[in-house]
Structures are given as C-alpha cells and as structure tokens.
Structure 1
Amino acid sequence: MNQISPLAYVHPEAKLGDNNIIGPFCYIDRDVEIGDNNVMQNSVTIHVGARIGNNNEFFPGASISTKPQDLKFRGEETTCIVGDNNSIRENVTISRGTASKGKTVVGSNNLLMENMHVGHDCVLGSGLIIGNSTKLAGEVVVDDNAILSGSVLVHQFCHIGGYVMVQGGSRSPMDIPPYIIAGRDPLKYCGLNLVGLRRRGFSNEQIDLIHNTYRLLYNTGTLKEGIEEVRKTLPMTKEVEYILNFVENSQRGIIR
C-alpha cells in the first residue's frame, strides 16, 4: 500500500506501484509512472513524462522531468527515465527530453548531490557520484562509475567516460576519456584514477595496460598515430578497446 500525505497531490492518471511514500507538498503530474518502494520526501515535484523505477529516494525540492530549458522545445511528448536505487538529493533538477532524442535517462545506483542539474536528452549511466551544484548541459553522456566533483560545468554534447574523477570547479568543453583524473584550468589529463580503479577491482596488469594506452595516445605524434601505435603494440583487451572507441568516436575532441 502506498503512503500518500493528505497534503500531497497525485494526478488521477498517474500510475503508482506499491509501497511508495509520498510526503507533504509533493506534486505528481499526469503521464507519470512510478514503480515500487520509492520515497519522496516533502516538496518533490514529478512532472509529465517521468518514468521512475524502484527503490529511489528523492529529497526535498527535487524536480524530475521538468520542461527542457531549450528554446527549440515545442511541447512534444518526451520522457525522463530514472532507474533503480538512486539517491536524488535536495533541489536536483532533471529535464525531460526534446525532439532530439526524445528522452533523458538516468541509470541506477547513482548519487546525485544537492542542487545539481541534468539537462535535456542527457544519458547518465549507473554507479555515478555527481557532486553539489554540478551542471550538465543538454545531451551530455556520462558512462558508468564516473565521479564528478562539486561545481563542475559540462558543455552540451560532451561525453564523459567511465571510472573518471573530475576535479571540483572544472569546466569541461571537450570529451573526457575513461579511467583518468581530469583537472586544472583549462581541463587536462592528470593521470589515471588509480584509487578509483583499485577500489573497483582492477588488477595491476589491467592498470598497467590502461596506463600504456594513454602513454602511447598522448606521446606518439598525432592522436591518429597514437591510436595506430596502440593497436600495433598492445593487446586489445576490453579496456583498451573502450578507450580507443571512445577517442575515435569523440565529436568534440578529447582533453589532452
């Protein structure tokens, strides 16, 4: 049975699963689907197009599936998909999609800290930690297990690789490839995210191979020549392939 405060509003067309807690002053709009065992503390707003999984906790002031901050948006029917086991802290805003992709996606097991923003058509993976006041512009992609510290600003269309650590207060105008620490101003490659990789169970052999991949990429002539040297010199493990595919498909270029 759902526990719905008498001070909350739930649209009669909203679809709720079981055992959800909806606190006072929450607002659940039409065309919303919510799974099981979610907690919405007071003053949470769930707008049109939200598709929410199970076991999520939303803290006061969170606003999910908000109207996109995109002047090209014309009211098309789009969605905002949130997976399972997420902690979405105070005043987090997540916009729904536009005609570009049709949906904004947030995976599972993420911690989105206070006052951060997820723009329209973003695709966020799982296992992320995104710090206070970090802002992701439209159509940003963040792969699994990345950590973005506080007050990071990410340009639209950027791609952030998995297992990265991004320094607080950074501005990211380019793609950030996986497994690294990104910091300084302007944003640069600052070595591997060794602590993060070891915590995630990467072996010394895997870490050495990732290190050698970046050594060749960044120190062998052009980026194209570096990619060729990696393919010629190193074994093509899934980690190496991930790095090379990321670099080869980068639309904005990678940080150096």
Structure 2
Amino acid sequence: MTQVHSTAIVDPKAELDASVSVGPYAVIGAHVRIGAGTTIGPHCVIEGHTTIGCDNRIFQFSSLGAIPQDKKYAGEPTELVIGDRNVIREFCTFNLGVPGAGGVTRVGSDNWIMAYTHIAHDCRVDDHTTLSNNTTLAGHVHLADWVTVGGLTGIHQFVSIGAHAMLGFASAVTQDVPPFMLVDGNPLAVRGFNVVGLRRRGYTPARIAAVKQMHKLLYRQGRTLDDARTAIQALAAEMPEAAEDVALMTRFIAHSTRGIAR
C-alpha cells in the first residue's frame, strides 16, 4: 500500500502508485497523479492538474502545482508535468501554466533542483539541468538539456538558455544564451564556453575545438550576428564530427526571439 503518514491529507481522487511515500502534514489534491518510487517530504503541497513521474525525491515545504502568478489566470484547468528521477529540494515553487501559451509547465527528468527555486508558468526545463539555490525562472523560460544555473540568478520571461550553457552566480539574464556558453554578471556578459562541462560529458577534443571556434566567431572577431552565423554553418563541412553541435548552435540563433547575449 502507499505509505501515507497519518497526518497527511490526500484527496481520495488523487492517483498515487502503491510505492509512493507521503510525509507528515503533506497535502495532495484531487487532480494529482504520482508515479512509482516517488517520495513526498513533510509539509509539501501538491495541487492542481499535476502529474509527477517515477523515482522523484521531493523535499519538505515544496509547493507544486499552485495557480500561476498571472493576473489573467481565471481558474482554467492548466497543468504541471514533472518527469522522472528529479531531486527537488526545500521550498521550491513550480506553478501551473496559463491558457493561450500551451497551458503546461514542464520539468523533464534527472534534474537537480536546489532550495528556493521558482519555476513560473509555462516554463520548460529539459533534462539533466542543475539549478542552484534561489534560481528564479519567470514565465515561458526554456532551459535546454545540461544547463547549469548559479545561485541567486534571475531569468527574464521568454528567455531561452541553450544546451550545455552555464550561468554564473547572481546573474541577471535578460537575453537568450546560446548553447555551450559561459555567462555571468549584471549586466550579463559572455565569459567563454563551458569547456569543463563538455569534458565531463565525454565531448571529444575535436568537438570541443568546434565549440571553441563557434565561440570565437560569435564573440571574438567583431562580426555581425548574420556573418557569424554564416561562418558557423560552414564549420559543419570543416569539422564533420561536430556537425550536430554546429546545427544546435545555428538553430538556436535562428529561433532566438529576445536576441542572444553578446
């Protein structure tokens, strides 16, 4: 049977796998679904149309699935969807989506999310990210795979952060950050590329060299953005081993809506 502490309040309509553990004084609403092996810490509140996958560990005092902090929200049945194997530490707040923007806030799998992180409505956090203490995501932010965010960092609404990027401590992020880049500060500045992270993930020297060249073309040669993008596209033929990395960069630049940090 599901391990529910006697002081927890679980709505009879909630769907919890038999292996779910619910700690003291937790509150779980009627439209919540929780998958196998997930543990819910003391005093957590999980509400709204919230779906949580398998083997997540949710620490005490987190609030998941509360209504969005958006004055236009009028009680529509929007969603929060969380994947598998995430660690969600103390006092995190993840909100539901809002209508007209997809209506779903999504958190992927294998993420390490530290205390006091806020994920606002309609954000999308992909897989293998690390969000340090007091990371704040405004509405509609997208973090791609393997992004690392330093503590006390705020990310403006509609900003996208490319895969493998790293954001330093106490940064103010108001523009899109291309894949692989290392940024920090207020105002935000690009300091280099995330070579340590790429090495840890098994990138070959050839792929790292291609990322280094992309960084140089974007930030070290005084090129216009269009000129830099054209030069980056040419790298796919020159460095075929890094063709996917080049494609990732060129797609990101082409689809940027807030302009890239430069």
User: Where do 5+ consecutive residues of structure 2 fail to align?
Assistant: none
Q: Which residue number corresponds to residue 231 of structure 2?
A: 229
1:255 aligns with 2:226: no
CA RMSD in angstroms, aligned pairs only: 1.1
Q: Is the CA contact (8 Å cut-off) linking 1:9 and 1:25 kept in structure 2?
A: yes
What is the distance in 1 between the residues matched to 2:84 and 2:76? 26
- Residue 7 in 1 paired to residue 7 in 2? yes
Q: Which residue of 2 aligns with 1:146?
A: 147
Q: Equivalent residue for 2:245?
A: 239
Deviation at 1:217, TM superposition (A): 2.5
1:76 deviates by: 0.8
Maintained 8 Å contact 2:171/2:186: yes
Corresponding residue for 1:171?
172
Percent identical pairs in the alignment equals 34
User: Aligned partners of 1:156, 1:136: CA distance in 2, in Å?
Assistant: 7
Between the aligned partners of 1:233 and 1:19, the Cα distance in structure 2 is 50
Q: How does 1:22-171 map to 2 (within 5 A)?
A: 22-99=22-99, 100-171=101-172
Could you tell me whether the CA contact under 8 Å between 1:213 and 1:234 is conserved in 2?
Answer: no
Q: CA deviation at 1:192?
A: 1.0
Deviations 1:28-86 (A, max 9, x none): 00111111111111001101111000000111110111110011111111110000001
> What whole-Å deviation, never above 9, does each CA across 1:97-116 have from its counterpart, x for those lacking one?
11021100000011110011
Q: Shift of residue 220 of structure 1?
A: 5.1
User: What SS class does the counterpart of residue 246 from structure 2 fall into?
Assistant: helix
Partner residue in 2 for 1:19: 19
CA-CA distance at 1:233 after TM superposition: 4.8
Task: Quote the Cα distance in structure 2 between the aligned partners of 1:233 and 1:95.
Answer: 41
CA deviation after TM superposition for structure 1 residue 185, in Å = 2.8
Contact in 1 for aligned 2:112/2:129 (Cα 8 Å): yes
From the superposition, tell whether residues 4 and 33 of structure 1 become closer, same or farther in structure 2 (CA, over 3 Å). Answer: same
Answer yes or no: is the 8 Å Cα contact 1:140–1:157 preserved in 2: yes
Does the Cα contact within 8 Å between 1:220 and 1:229 map onto a contact in 2?
no
- Structure 1 counterpart of 2:137, which letter? L
State whether residues 29 and 47 of structure 1, in contact with CA within 8 Å, keep that contact through their aligned partners in structure 2. Answer: yes
Q: Return the TM-score normalized by structure 2.
A: 0.95
Equivalent AA in structure 2 for residue 27 of structure 1 = V
Look up the equivalent residue of 1:40 and give its one-letter code.
I
TM-score (norm 1): 0.97
Contact 2:131 2:151 in 1 (8 A): yes
Unaligned runs of 5+ in 1: none
How many corresponding residue pairs? 256
Distance 1:9 1:242 in 2: 46
